[in-house]
Structures are given as C-alpha cells and as structure tokens.
Structure 1
Amino acid sequence: MDLASLRGSAEVLKVAARHDVYPFIDPKVHYDAQTLAGRVVLITGASRGIGLETALHFVRAGASLTIVARKQEALDASRDTILRERPSAQVFTFPADVRDVKKAEEAVAATVTRFGRLDILVANAGSLRASFQPFASEDPTKWWEIMEVNIRGTYNFIHFAVPELQKTKGRIVMTSSRAAQLRIPCSSEYCTSKHTLIRFAEFISIEYPDLKVFCVHPGTVATELTVEYEGRASRDEDSPALCAAAILYLISGRADYLSGRYVAATWDLGEVERDWKEKIVSQEALVSKLHIPQ
C-alpha cells in the first residue's frame, strides 16, 4: 500500500517528522521531577504495544495506574513488566471488554475506590481488521465491530471518567490514527472510526472546558494490530516510546492550546509550538471541518 498516493495524504502539518524521542519532549524531566507523583492514570488497551509503553512512562514519572485489557493473564504480565521497571509502583489491573458499558463504569469506580481519585484517562484500546474488501462485500456485523471497539469503547470510559476528571481538572488522551485523515480503499470502518474520535474530542473540549483532551496519532508502530493490517512490519518505523513521550508532553500543561484537536506524535512538537501555534488557535485548525476555498 502506497500511503503517499492515497486521498488525504497531503493533509499534514508541515513540520519535521520524528520517529523516536527527541529533546523537546524528553520524558526525563518528568522522571527526575516525579511530575505525576500523587496522580492516578487509567489506561485501556494497556497489555501490550503503545498502551504498555505509555504505562511505563507514567510510572517512571511517579503515577499510580489502573491498566485495562480483556484478559487477566495479559494484564498480569503487563503488571509484572511495570513492577520490574519500578518495584514501588502502584498498579491495579481490571479485565474488561471496553465495549461493555457496565465494565467501563466498574473500572472507573474501582480506580477511584482504590486510589481516591482519577487524574488522567488514556483511552488507547482499539481494533482493526485486514479484510481489504469494499464495505458492501463484508459481513456487516464484523464491519460494525470495529466501530464498536474504537468509538463505543472509547466513549464508554470517557463517559464514566468525566465526573471524576472534573474534580481534578484532569486530562483525556484518545488514540486516533493518521488513517483518520486518509481515505484508504476497503478500510472504511477503521478510517471512519478514528476520524469520529477527532470530532468527539472537539465536543468534549466544548462541553467540559475544564478538561483537556487530545486525539493522538501514535505514529506507525510495529504492533500486532498494525502487522496484521499491513501484512508486514517493514514500514513500521516509529518507536512506541515516541508516542508515550508525546503523551507525557501533552498532559503536562505545556500544550493546552492543542486540546480538542488532532495531534500526531510524529510531528516535531517544538516546531508546532514555535511556528504553528498562533495559526492553529486563530484559524481553529486541526479539527474536522469544511475547507471553503477562497
């Protein structure tokens, strides 16, 4: 698949592309200062890949964690990985299918019962499927399953987290994708679901202005999902640590002007701040809207 030839491929912010952690978002400042000490973070899709890497970055900065995934065995393995990294970390596991409304409610409630508060939600759980058929040739139930996981699964946790996050003036991160901006043939369910999250982030920022919310493209990272989707891992060139460090930067308070917007972890966020911040704010950019040629 040649991404450069797809519709939407030119819809990018013209800044340097980053593929690994760089000085402007170096997480060491958070580690050294323990900037998240006393903060509580809930992460869905935390048993592998970007979710697990993000969990590791947060505990290094002093956070207490609730990690959510479907299988307890996978969560236990993730907790062991985290505790090997930081033996003193407070890590609570909660198995749940993010599509289950009741389980989402219980996970948030259990987090608050365990830690007394909730400061940050990272809604990372997602799904994609390599069917590569026009949508009318697919099983409609399977097509809709992707929407259920990516949209409803994200919504469920945000819905129940918002009342707690309002108490702490908290932060929300949703994992989107560059595919949200692309029109990839035979991938309508995935692209549409990830695009929908961008609009949802806009509504959260309008309806709950005390909260900060970021819709993040994590980069092209070699995970089980992307390898299945691409059919190979050769294109996967971005470090999972890049996304985790970018998320730490975004929730730090240094980039609140990006709240309610689409952000790519692969953008040089120093250049974004220096060269584009004023335009992004004044032109209400990085949101879903009609572009009317002048």
Structure 2
Amino acid sequence: METQIPPQHQDVQPGIQAELDPQPKVIRYNYRGTNKLKDKVALITGGDSGIGQSVAVHFAREGADIAIVYTEREEVDAQQTKELVEAEGRQILLLPGDLKQADFCERVVEETIKRFGKLNIVVNNAAIQLQHKKFEEMQDEDLVNTYETNIYSFFRVTKAALKHLHEGDSIINTTSVTAYQGRADLPEYSSTKGAIMAFTRALAGNLAKKKIRVNGVAPGPIWTPLNPASVSAKEVAMFGKDVPMKRPGQPCEVAPAYVYLASEDSSYVTGQVIHPNGGTIING
C-alpha cells in the first residue's frame, strides 16, 4: 500500500477528507465480511472520515448498523460514509454536532437508541491535533479545546452509553503511538492520548464484572485529514517515512483491529491496546 503524498495543507481542524490527495484507502477490495457483528449497533465518534470512516464501513460489512458523530463542517465526508455503509446493506444514522458540549454527548447516545433500539459497540475516536513547535506558543484555548474533544468526550459518551450496554458488548478507544512516545510539537494531543490509554485500562477493570470489554487502538502515522490540517505542507510530504516500514498506513490497515476488538474473537481481551504503527516498538 505504498502511497506518494504530495505537499498539502488544510486550515480547518480536524480536516476534510474530500480535499485529500490522494484519497485514503478506506476498505480493501478483498476484505470479506463474515457476520462477526451481525445486527449489532455501533456508535462511532469521528466516524465521517479517516479511521472512523473505515471502521464504520468494516463494521457494516460485518453486519452492524452504524451511528456516526462528526462536526457540521464535515458533512461532505459524512455523506460519503453514509453511501459506503448503505452500499453494504446496513443502516446509518448521522449525528452532526459539537462533542465539547456535555449535553450533545448524551444526546448522540439517546438518538442512537431511539433509531436502533439498542447499542452494543462504542468507538470513541474523535480528535483534534494542534501543532506547537514552541511550547510557549500554546494558548489556553488550544488546551481546553483539545482536552474537551479528545478525552472529555470519551468520558461523557461512555457514561451516557453504559446504561444501554450489556454482557458481551464492547468499548474501543482510539489512542495513539504518541501516548507512549510523546511528540515534541504535539504536547496537548500527546497528553490526551496518554490519558486515553490510562482511561482504557482503568475502565476495563471497572467494567470487567459486568463483562463489558474495554480496549484501545494506538495507530501510528495513518493517512487521514487530521494530518494536513495539523502540520505544514512540507511536513505532510514526509509523513510516515520515519517508521520502520518507511510509509504511512492507510485507514483500511487499522480498521480490522477494531473489528477484532468489537467481535467475539476478542472475548478474552480487555484493558489492552493494539498498535498498528508501521513497526515502531513502544513496549506498551
């Protein structure tokens, strides 16, 4: 899946996938669903593009109905996700809004239950990523917005969802390789991803008696709109070349990890993190 990425930049967070060149690979042509998630219902935050979109389509191919949460500026990408999910013969609910608002975090769960009557899988995936090469350039607003989006929403959506989850259901949190390595120019983002990793482990222990599994996925450099929306065009052109595999990954190389964690294949797995990162060893 070698990909040549030309220099490009977007000024809007978390980025618009429709404007990427080349377009990310969302699903492999030879991926065959086997009903691993037959008639399950999944709520995916940040499900309009990138990894979230790929997870939505893979889940749908495995038989799940989908609800996705996204910002209103990402409507074009969300409509593409809708088309892809419906092409798999499954239903999808679009939930535009602001996850920084506590009441909206509750409402997305309520709307999912209203539409589908149940909820089995929660994928906390939404994130923003702001670059600050000098730490003192960070504004308090940057810190608040990043934390409210990247970790507060995970707490709030999960809390609202728990009353509807039962034995065998699962929660999957998107963390990052930066949770383990840190990244000098992404201090807020890296620290929220570290918080997500710790949240995943703590929540897994908390919910083990209820037999609700909680796991995480920590991607490395994956080609999504978050990248050109975060760094310079020159840096984008070098994206992913510093990992052992010497290339960025594609969303379709990450999404099957979510299928595994959402399905009975991982029935004895909780409190763990999968690392699709191109070969970077982080011992975490």
TMscore range, shorter length = 0.7 to 0.9
Which residue does the alignment assign to 2:21? none
Which residue does the alignment assign to 1:205? 204
Which residue does the alignment assign to 2:138? 138
Q: Is the 8 A contact 1:144 1:189 kept in 2?
A: no
Question: For 1:267 and 1:163, how far apart are their aligned partners in 2?
Answer: 37
Question: For 1:183 and 1:61, how far apart are their aligned partners in 2?
Answer: 34
Q: How much identity, in percent, do the aligned residues show?
A: 25
Tell me which of 67, 76, 79 is aligned to 1:76: 79
Question: For 1:256 and 1:218, how far apart are their aligned partners in 2?
Answer: 22
Q: Which moved more, 1:146-155 or 1:255-264?
A: 255-264
Q: Is the 8 A contact 2:131 2:185 kept in 1?
A: no
Question: For 1:73 and 1:254, how far apart are their aligned partners in 2?
Answer: 34
Q: Does 1:100 align with 2:101?
A: yes
Q: Does 1:172 align with 2:171?
A: yes
Question: For 1:49 and 1:117, how far apart are their aligned partners in 2?
Answer: 26
Task: Write out per-residue CA displacement over residues 30-82 of structure 1, whole angstroms, 9 at most, x where no aligned residue.
Answer: x1x32212100111101111111111101111101111111173333421233
Q: Which moved more, 1:248-257 or 1:103-112?
A: 248-257
C-alpha displacement at 1:243, in angstroms?
0.9
SS of match in other structure, 1:54: helix
User: One-letter code of the match for 2:238?
Assistant: S
C-alpha displacement at 1:257, in angstroms?
4.6
C-alpha displacement at 1:211, in angstroms?
1.1
C-alpha displacement at 1:122, in angstroms?
0.7
Task: Write out per-residue CA displacement over residues 19-39 of structure 1, whole angstroms, 9 at most, x where no aligned residue.
Answer: x99xxxx952xx1x3221210
Greater Rg by CA: 1
Map of 1:212-227 to 2, 5 A cutoff? 212-227=213-228
TM-score, normalised via structure 1 length:
0.75
Unaligned stretches of 5+ in structure 1? 1-19, 269-284, 287-294
Q: Is the 8 A contact 2:172 2:215 kept in 1?
A: yes
User: One-letter code of the match for 1:122?
Assistant: V
Q: Say if 1:92 and 1:111 are closer, same or farther in 2 by CA, change over 3 A.
A: same
Q: Which has the higher contact order (CA 8 A, sep 6+)?
A: 2
After TM superposition, the runs of 4+ consecutive aligned structure 1 residues lying more than 4 A away are none
SS of match in other structure, 2:216: strand
Which residue does the alignment assign to 1:244? 255
Q: Does 1:188 align with 2:194?
A: no
Question: For 1:150 and 1:186, how far apart are their aligned partners in 2?
Answer: 17
Task: Write out per-residue CA displacement over residues 121-142 of structure 1, whole angstroms, 9 at most, x where no aligned residue.
Answer: 11110010122221x3321121
C-alpha displacement at 1:179, in angstroms?
0.4
Task: Write out per-residue CA displacement over residues 199-244 of structure 1, whole angstroms, 9 at most, x where no aligned residue.
Answer: 1111211111111111211231111212333431433421211111
Question: For 1:224 and 1:73, how far apart are their aligned partners in 2?
Answer: 14
Question: For 2:173 and 2:229, how far apart are their aligned partners in 1?
Answer: 22
Question: For 2:265 and 2:36, how far apart are their aligned partners in 1?
Answer: 13
User: One-letter code of the match for 1:158?
Assistant: T
Aligned residue pair count:
240
Question: For 1:258 and 1:195, how far apart are their aligned partners in 2?
Answer: 20
User: One-letter code of the match for 1:139?
Assistant: Q
Q: Say if 1:124 and 1:185 are closer, same or farther in 2 by CA, change over 3 A.
A: same
Tell me which of 262, 267, 274 is aligned to 1:263: 274
Question: For 1:216 and 1:52, how far apart are their aligned partners in 2?
Answer: 15
Q: Is the 8 A contact 1:198 1:215 kept in 2?
A: yes
Question: For 1:180 and 1:221, how far apart are their aligned partners in 2?
Answer: 15
Q: Say if 1:174 and 1:112 are closer, same or farther in 2 by CA, change over 3 A.
A: same
Q: Is the 8 A contact 1:119 1:168 kept in 2?
A: no
Map of 1:102-121 to 2, 5 A cutoff? 102-121=103-122
Question: For 1:201 and 1:267, how far apart are their aligned partners in 2?
Answer: 22
Q: Say if 1:227 and 1:118 are closer, same or farther in 2 by CA, change over 3 A.
A: same
SS of match in other structure, 2:84: helix
SS of match in other structure, 1:130: coil
Question: For 1:261 and 1:36, how far apart are their aligned partners in 2?
Answer: 20
C-alpha displacement at 1:101, in angstroms?
1.2
Question: For 2:176 and 2:163, how far apart are their aligned partners in 1?
Answer: 27
